[in-house]
């Protein structure tokens, strides 16, 4: 964990604020475009947000938070109660949406999805790589950093306010894609579904706000053995591995509890996990919030 202090809270758009979190004990951990981190709030909730500042600035992190109408307490707290000067613990940055080297890029962002894409555009333009951004939202007033993007990147950016202009023609964008160009898309599910229908799978990289609905076999009970402590934990059919471990005295960091943030990553030493996450667990790892076991027992590095 790293300790930061809330240096600034700025209005980024309707219902969206940006936070600048400055390190309190020296340089903050490095990060690359596409990374996110967990912020532990004073109301004991942990939430994950994409880093949307400048990776070259090791003194501060910037994130943006939209006030969700059905908030589970995170965005509600930040918008109503968080104040400048508050000390917050944040995790080390993690990146499940890295910018792969390519000769050209097309970036697609919908609403708050701009937070993951903005640093990618900055990196590509700074490196002299051909890049363009199509940024979609109901209106310019609802789109965080729209003015910043226009000012900094001008002709590289196309702002599409759908209430006035309708939705962009993704098929036309796909037809005009430069040879070897990669497409990076972050936004609401309908945008990602539409992008997946027109762009070649090998050239499209996406990041989702929420997991894709999937079907799995009925949940069953299984056992977890903790290699370091020697403790055995029974995971009932109606309880997640994350919760069972917490009840047994082995709490893990957790953010989304939906398998999209990676904060509850767990090393598996023996046994076969059933991966139910939406980001692709690395070999020998699993995400305890949603994943379960295909074998009767798992041995984990706890």
pLDDT in tens, 122-158: 999 999 999 999 999 999 999 999 999 999 999 999 9
User: Partners of 66 in the beta sheet?
Assistant: 16
Distance CA 170, CA 181 (A): 15
- pLDDT value of residue 98: 95
Distance CA 263, CA 257 (A): 9
Predicted confidence (pLDDT) at residue 207 exceeds the cutoff of 80: yes
* 128: region left, alpha or beta (phi > 0 left; psi from -120 to 50 alpha): left
- pLDDT value of residue 192: 93
- pLDDT value of residue 210: 65
Q: Which residue in this structure is represented by tokens 């040879």?
A: 179
- pLDDT value of residue 220: 92
pLDDT in tens, 171-194: 999 999 999 999 999 999 899 999
- pLDDT value of residue 297: 94
- pLDDT value of residue 45: 87
For residues 275-292, average pLDDT: 88
Predicted confidence (pLDDT) at residue 23 exceeds the cutoff of 90: yes
- pLDDT value of residue 70: 67
User: Do residues 186 and 97 lie in contact, with contact meaning Cβ atoms separated by under 8 Å?
Assistant: yes
For residues 24-39, average pLDDT: 95
- pLDDT value of residue 201: 87
Which residues have C-beta within 8 Å of that of residue 16, sequence separation ≥ 6?
64, 65, 66, 67, 112, 142, 144
Between 301 and 216, the higher pLDDT residue: 301
3-17, 36-50, 247-261: least confidently modelled range: 247-261
Phi, psi of 107 (to 5 degrees): -105, 135
Mean pLDDT of the chain: 92
Distance CA 49, CA 221 (A): 33
Token duo for residue 53: 């500042």
- pLDDT value of residue 260: 79
Confidence of residue 212 (pLDDT cuts 50, 70, 90): low
Q: Single out the residue of 153, 131, 156, 19 nearest to residue 74, CA to CA.
A: 19
- pLDDT value of residue 41: 92
Phi, psi of 295 (to 5 degrees): -90, 165
Token duo for residue 171: 């098929």
- pLDDT value of residue 79: 94
Q: Considering the chain, what percentage of its residues have pLDDT values greater than 90? A: 78
- pLDDT value of residue 211: 61
Predicted confidence (pLDDT) at residue 84 exceeds the cutoff of 80: yes
pTM of the model: 0.79
For residues 214-221, average pLDDT: 84
């Amino acid at each position: 964990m790293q300790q930061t202090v809330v240096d600034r809270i700025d209005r980024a758009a309707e219902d969206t604020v940006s936070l600048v979190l400055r390190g309190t004990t020296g340089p903050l951990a490095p990060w690359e475009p596409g990374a996110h981190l967990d912020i532990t709030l004073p109301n004991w909730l942990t939430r994950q947000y994409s880093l949307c500042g400048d990776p070259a600035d090791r003194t501060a992190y910037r994130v943006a938070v939209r006030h969700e109408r059905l908030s589970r307490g995170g965005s509600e707290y930040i918008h109503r109660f968080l104040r400048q000067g508050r000390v917050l613990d944040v995790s080390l940055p993690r990146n499940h949406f890295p910018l792969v080297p390519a000769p050209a890029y097309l970036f697609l962002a919908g609403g708050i999805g701009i937070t993951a894409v903005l640093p990618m555009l900055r990196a590509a333009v700074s490196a002299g790589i051909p890049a363009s951004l199509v940024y979609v939202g109901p209106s310019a007033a609802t789109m965080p950093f729209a003015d910043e993007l226009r000012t900094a990147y001008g002709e590289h950016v196309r702002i599409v306010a759908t209430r006035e202009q309708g939705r962009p023609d993704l098929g036309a964008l796909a037809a005009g894609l430069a040879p070897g160009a990669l497409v990076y898309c972050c936004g609401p599910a309908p945008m990602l579904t539409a992008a997946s229908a027109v762009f070649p799978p090998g050239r499209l990289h996406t990041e989702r706000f929420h997991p894709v609905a999937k079907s799995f076999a009925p949940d069953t009970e299984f056992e977890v053995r903790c290699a370091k402590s020697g403790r055995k934990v029974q995971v009932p059919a109606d309880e997640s591995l994350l919760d069972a471990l917490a009840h047994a005295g082995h709490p893990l960091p957790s953010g989304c509890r939906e398998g999209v943030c990676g904060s509850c990553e767990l090393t598996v030493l023996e046994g076969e996990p059933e991966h139910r996450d939406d980001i692709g667990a690395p070999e020998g790892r699993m995400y305890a919030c949603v994943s379960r076991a295909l074998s009767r027992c798992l041995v984990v590095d706890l």
